[in-house]
Amino acid sequence: MTETNRIEFKRELTRDLDIEREVVAFLNYHEGGVVYIGIDNDGTAIGVKDIDGDMLKIKDRIRMGISPSPMGLFDVTTERIDDVPVIKIFVATGSEKPYYKTKYGLSERGCFLRVGTASEPMPVNMIEDLYAHRVRNSLRNIRSPRKNLTFRQLHIYYESKGLALNEHFLENLDLLTDGGELNYVAYLLADENSMSIKVAKYAGTDRDILVANNEFGFCSLLKATDQVLDKLKVENNVSSVITYKRRIDTPLWDERAMHEIVINAIVHNDYYTNEVPPKFEIFSDHIEITSAGRLPVGMTQDDFFGGISSPRNKELMRVFRDVDLVESLGSGMRRIQKVYSRGIYVFLPNFIRVSIPFYSQNRNDNDNEDALVVSVTEDFGSVNGSANLSEPTKRQLDIIAIISDYAKKDGSVNGSVKSGATTKEIISKLNVSERTIYRELAVLKQMGLIRRVGSDKTGHWEVIKANEK
């Protein structure tokens, strides 16, 4: 690894290390960038001793030491390089340039810009020019159309992740304008609003025959997003081809890529300029997702597909990340392109549309293995016991396999033999959010494929065998 215009190395986190300067420079840079802690200047990974402690310090220093608020524009994670742990600070380009070190304000001592492999002071004339053109029509600075807003749903989402919102949550989540009034972000996240997301379904390949038109909304955007994701999961019908060795399941679309596309459409939608929410339309051979807005000024399509992140609504992005609806900043496009080509995107003058063709139900077993869900050997009969039951998805089958593997290990829990896996063990094996695992476990339990043994705190999951039904 070498330092570039988008990559900066730091050997260790110390008081003398001006981490705020590096982050400010990337916030002001049109491509953003990454700061690694635990890598020497020559690119040698030396590691970080106190990973958790340093990560907390970094988050606090960035949050408290930079203005305007960078929340929703950076992500602090860990990574292993050359088998040693390092800290990775991903920084997206900001929409409220110039960003600056709060201590020094809008001055050459406070404003920096990435130039080559260095973070250089920003000239005064550039500071003044950027400030004069700063985007003031962000959702944070637009007053809510309603004054009496409640946020019970927002509290529930945070509490489900073990995060308690204190009495200052409106300020902490940037839900107030500079004048202290509730802003449009607060309106979108409130228990009641007039925002509704439509999921329409048509009988053919065009809009001639509408067979269903569902509306999800008039509530917190978090809840509406979950409702849309659940609806699309129901619509993602799976066709099966049975061979003498296994059954091949082919869904209409890739669930994980779809999750990223849905979140992008909702979080990055231009709610201010067009005043319309994203729209989801299901046809007989494809699904279209249309969101309002265009690429940010200065961002090319190559930048977009290259994973350069420039959140339009950073306040929404921050909240969606807090509650695990977004996994990590800047990673969504990479996941989508593992399954689909760039051709699914259409860039219109004021909208961005994603058109996803359904997987062919007669495809060859070897075509696009990443997009094909192949599951279940002849052992499936001992798990399900009936071909007439609703069949589990690949992820659900992975969970069943994990539970079965732990049962074979004959592990011990609280002095007794364990015949399954705990929820934490399942989460640790699969690279998905806790929310997703809990939802899948609930579905498998309802299908009668697994059962819970013991309490929520100390119990585990077991597979229900065919002869027990």
Name the pTM for this structure. 0.63
* Selection from 368, 369, 391 nearest residue 247 by Cα: 391
- Distances in Å between the alpha carbon of 376 and those of 148, 187, 372, 406, 448? 53, 46, 13, 18, 17
d(Cα 280, Cα 258) in Å, to the nearest integer?
Answer: 12
Q: Taking 90 as the threshold, does the pLDDT of residue 16 lie above it? A: no
Topology given in CATH for the domain delimited by 7-134: 3.30.950
Q: List the CATH code of the domain at 376-468.
A: 1.10.10.10
Q: Taking 50 as the threshold, does the pLDDT of residue 380 lie above it? A: no
Residue 393 is predicted with a pLDDT of 81
Whole-angstrom Cα Rg for the chain: 24
Strand partners, 248: 241, 374
- Distances in Å between the alpha carbon of 261 and those of 268, 305, 391, 392? 10, 13, 25, 23
Q: Which two tokens stand for residue 380?
A: 């499936």
Mean pLDDT of 274-298: 88
Angle between helices 51-65 and 19-28 in degrees, nearest 10 = 60
Mean pLDDT of 411-431: 69
Q: Which two tokens stand for residue 429?
A: 């094996």
Domains 7-134 and 196-357 share a fold: no
pLDDT > 70: percent of the chain: 85
The dihedral sign for the CA sequence 30, 36, 39, 45: negative
Q: Which two tokens stand for residue 324?
A: 């695990």
Q: Taking 80 as the threshold, does the pLDDT of residue 435 lie above it? A: no
pLDDT tens-digit readout, 303-354: 888 888 888 888 999 999 999 998 777 778 888 998 899 999 999 888 999 9
Q: Which residues contact 298 (CB under 8 A, 6 or more apart)?
A: 30
pLDDT tens-digit readout, 65-94: 999 889 999 999 999 999 999 999 999 998
Q: Taking 70 as the threshold, does the pLDDT of residue 162 lie above it? A: yes
pLDDT tens-digit readout, 202-245: 998 999 899 999 999 899 999 999 999 999 999 998 766 655 45
Domain boundaries, the chain: 7-134, 140-189, 196-357, 376-468
Distance of CA 469 to the CA centre of its chain: 39
Residue for token pair 């989460």: 427
Of residues 367 and 464, more confidently modeled: 464
Residue 367 is predicted with a pLDDT of 38
Residue 366 is predicted with a pLDDT of 36
CA angle 463, 466, 468 (to 5 degrees): 80
Q: Taking 70 as the threshold, does the pLDDT of residue 359 lie above it? A: yes
When mean pLDDT is compared across 34-38, 256-260, 309-313, the lowest value belongs to 309-313
d(Cα 104, Cα 121) in Å, to the nearest integer?
Answer: 12
* Selection from 305, 401, 393 nearest residue 344 by Cα: 305
Q: Taking 50 as the threshold, does the pLDDT of residue 392 lie above it? A: yes
Residue 96 is predicted with a pLDDT of 85
Q: Taking 70 as the threshold, does the pLDDT of residue 105 lie above it? A: yes
d(Cα 154, Cα 411) in Å, to the nearest integer?
Answer: 39
> Is the backbone peptide bond immediately before 68 cis, with ω within 30 degrees of 0?
yes
CATH of 196-357, one of 3.30.565.60, 3.40.50.2300, 3.40.50.720, 3.40.50.280: 3.30.565.60
